[in-house]
């Protein structure tokens, strides 16, 4: 193993000259076995989410060579399946994102594949739309979403505009593994390909079309006009700046204040090292501006602008809404409004992930809307839209979201979209402002109606070589759990997404789960409480999602605490030392 890694290191040192910074890095670590090992002990794996890794030299890093060889594998896959194909490409504000996008375009063009390339950074959902607009056979988005600045990634889409399926990603990965990243990659000069038309920049009318589709998802047209809605917006130094501001302007939100320190694209993310709108740290600069201008709403989109977090006035300060809370309010607003306006389709469907709050199911049931629960990952929400589209019924889809701050209305894209979400959140805020209500009053009103739902996610890590085996044992033990209660509460329903059954212990009914197999276990307890367990497939980490339900926040927090204490101390989930 050591000899093989040393050989790879020497090979890169002699052949990676197209990017001088890689040679400099390799020279700098000469003699450091740990540094060399970390860069070469494995190759980045290509999966349904494409590639993701730290930027730098080596097979276990994001660089022009790992991007090129992945793209050559994609090109081989496309040329096997299609006589003539095209790929749509864009990128976000991360370090080297524009370079990686250009390199991917060069490889595809050299393989006879037409490329539609954005001239500047764009939100991730724009690539999903571009695939559908240009009738491309694949899409590439260079992004690492909300990871720290040292990361970059390469996200792939299929011809339906949804993230690449397991089968397709597997085929591409098989092609990649056959290739030498220096000898087997075809390349063409970028400008030559541009002049020949093999690479074509996306035209202005494409972006106009995208914004038109987003605007078509408005629920109450013109509701923002005359509302005097004041918004603070931060793109977190990412790709949302232009399109989010354009859509807000289009719907009549004119009083928009931008967080200047986070306005312009900057892959170093100097004011928010972890640019994730789920965490308070990323919103601190926005909250400082809120204290000055007193807006009705703070919007924060992540670097690739597919997710959005919000904060709203609450007493003398601002309350950060969770992804669940924002999605619950949007669900209620959209369904209530569309029924009132007569625009709700027949047999309406909304889609959420299994780890998203079950309060959504109750809200949707009130309005007679079917909820489809899918596996974690927005590609599974997109898959449900595709199934409806194949039946000519895509208009039945009214809304989809996941607890991790991703939302979508409409079927124009097949990924979460912070542009449409920012528009709908602003519209919702304007609607309630005209009624003299804040969004805090709205969510508290929903809690008063349905009960207070507290959702908490905790990760449990298992380091070392035995970590993955320990996790496997934990999941196997939970599968053999034979008690009828957890944390002193009756188990009313249990679902196993690997064995694909969902059993209701109240009615005795058992259903087959019509979803891809996934190592997820759900335990639904009396009173609406729940524990959902999901191990990571790539890290030695188990995520557990807790739902506590009470008559008020304190009551719900107490319920969650009891569930967490049970998981940590009972020995049922984790063996006691």
State both tokens at 491.
């188990």
State both tokens at 54.
């730290």
Q: Which residues of 149-169 are buried (b: 16+ CB within 10 A; e: fewer)?
A: bbbbbbbbbbbbbbbbeeebb
Q: What is residue 94's three-state secondary structure?
A: coil
Query: Catalytic residue numbers?
Result: 145
Tell me whether residue 438 is exposed, middle or buried, using C-beta atoms within 10 angstroms of its C-beta: 0 to 12, 13 to 18, 19 or more. middle
- CA distances 75 to 67, 114, 131, 138, 438, Å, are 12, 11, 16, 10, 51
State both tokens at 410.
């409409």
State how far the Cα of 423 lies from the Cα of 248, in Å rounded to an integer.
6
State how far the Cα of 443 lies from the Cα of 437, in Å rounded to an integer.
11
Q: Is residue 368 a contact partner of residue 344, using CB atoms and an 8 Å limit? A: no
Tell me the CA end-to-end span of the chain in Å, nearest whole number. Answer: 35
State how far the Cα of 562 lies from the Cα of 550, in Å rounded to an integer.
12
Residue 432: how many CA atoms within 13 Å on its side-chain side? 22
Residues 6+ apart with CB under 8 A from 227: 252, 430, 431, 433, 434
Other CB atoms within 10 A of residue 249 CB:
11
Cα dihedral: 260, 264, 268, 269 (round 10): 40
Element holding 290 (H helix, E strand): helix 280-293
Provide the angle, in degrees to the nearest 10, between the axes of the packed helices 323-341 and 359-366: 10
């Amino acid at each position: 193993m050591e000899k093989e890694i040393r050989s790879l290191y020497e090979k890169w040192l002699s052949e990676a000259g197209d990017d001088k910074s890689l040679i400099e890095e390799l020279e700098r670590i000469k003699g450091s076995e740990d540094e060399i090992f970390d860069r070469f002990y494995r190759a980045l794996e290509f999966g349904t989410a494409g590639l993701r890794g730290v930027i730098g030299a080596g097979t276990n890093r994001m660089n022009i060579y790992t991007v090129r060889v992945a793209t050559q594998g994609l090109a081989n896959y496309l040329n096997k399946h299609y006589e003539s194909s095209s790929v749509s490409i864009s990128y976000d504000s991360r370090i080297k994102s524009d370079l990686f996008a250009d390199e991917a375009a060069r490889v595809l063009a050299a393989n006879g594949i037409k490329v539609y390339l954005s001239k500047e950074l764009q939100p991730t959902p724009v690539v999903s739309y571009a695939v559908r607009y240009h009738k491309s056979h694949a899409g590439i988005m260079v992004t690492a979403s909300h990871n720290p600045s040292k990361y970059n990634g390469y996200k792939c889409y299929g011809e339906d505009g949804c993230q690449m399926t397991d089968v397709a990603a597997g085929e591409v990965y098989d092609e990649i593994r056959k290739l030498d990243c220096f000898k087997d990659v075809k390349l063409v000069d970028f400008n030559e390909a541009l002049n020949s038309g093999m690479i074509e920049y996306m035209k202005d009318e494409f972006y106009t079309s995208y914004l038109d589709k987003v605007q078509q998802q408005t629920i109450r047209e013109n509701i923002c006009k005359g509302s005097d809605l004041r918004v603070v917006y931060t793109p977190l130094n990412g790709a949302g700046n232009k399109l989010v501001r354009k859509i807000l302007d289009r719907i009549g939100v004119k009083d928009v204040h931008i967080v200047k320190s986070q306005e312009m694209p900057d892959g170093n993310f100097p004011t928010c090292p972890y640019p994730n709108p789920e965490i308070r740290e990323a919103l601190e600069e926005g909250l400082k501006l809120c204290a000055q201008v007193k807006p009705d709403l703070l919007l924060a989109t992540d670097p690739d602008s597919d997710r959005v977090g919000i904060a709203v006035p609450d007493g003398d300060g601002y309350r950060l809404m969770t992804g669940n809370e924002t999605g619950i309010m949007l669900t209620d607003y959209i369904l209530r409004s569309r029924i009132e306006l007569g625009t709700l389709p027949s047999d309406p469907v909304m889609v959420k992930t299994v780890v998203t709050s079950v309060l959504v199911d109750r809200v949707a049931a009130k309005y007679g809307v079917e909820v489809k629960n899918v596996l974690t990952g927005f590609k599974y929400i997109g898959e449900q839209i595709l199934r409806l589209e194949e039946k000519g019924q895509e208009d039945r889809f009214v809304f989809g979201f996941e607890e991790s701050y991703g939302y979508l209305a409409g079927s124009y894209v097949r990924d979460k979209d912070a542009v449409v979400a920012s528009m709908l959140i602003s519209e919702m805020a304007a609607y309630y402002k005209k009624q003299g209500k804040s969004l805090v009053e709205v969510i508290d009103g929903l809690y008063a109606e349905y009960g207070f739902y507290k959702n908490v996610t905790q990760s449990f890590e298992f380091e070392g070589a035995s970590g993955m085996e320990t996790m496997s044992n934990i999941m196997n033990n939970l599968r053999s759990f034979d008690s009828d209660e957890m944390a002193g509460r009756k188990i009313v329903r249990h679902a196993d997404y690997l064995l694909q059954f969902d059993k209701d212990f109240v009615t005795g009914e058992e259903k087959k789960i019509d979803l891809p197999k996934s190592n997820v276990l759900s335990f639904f307890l009396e009173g609406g409480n729940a524990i959902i367990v999901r191990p990571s497939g790539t890290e030695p980490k188990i995520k557990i999602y807790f739902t506590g339900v009470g008559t008020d926040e304190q009551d719900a927090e107490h319920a969650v605490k009891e569930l967490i204490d049970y998981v940590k101390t009972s020995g049922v989930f984790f063996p006691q030392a």
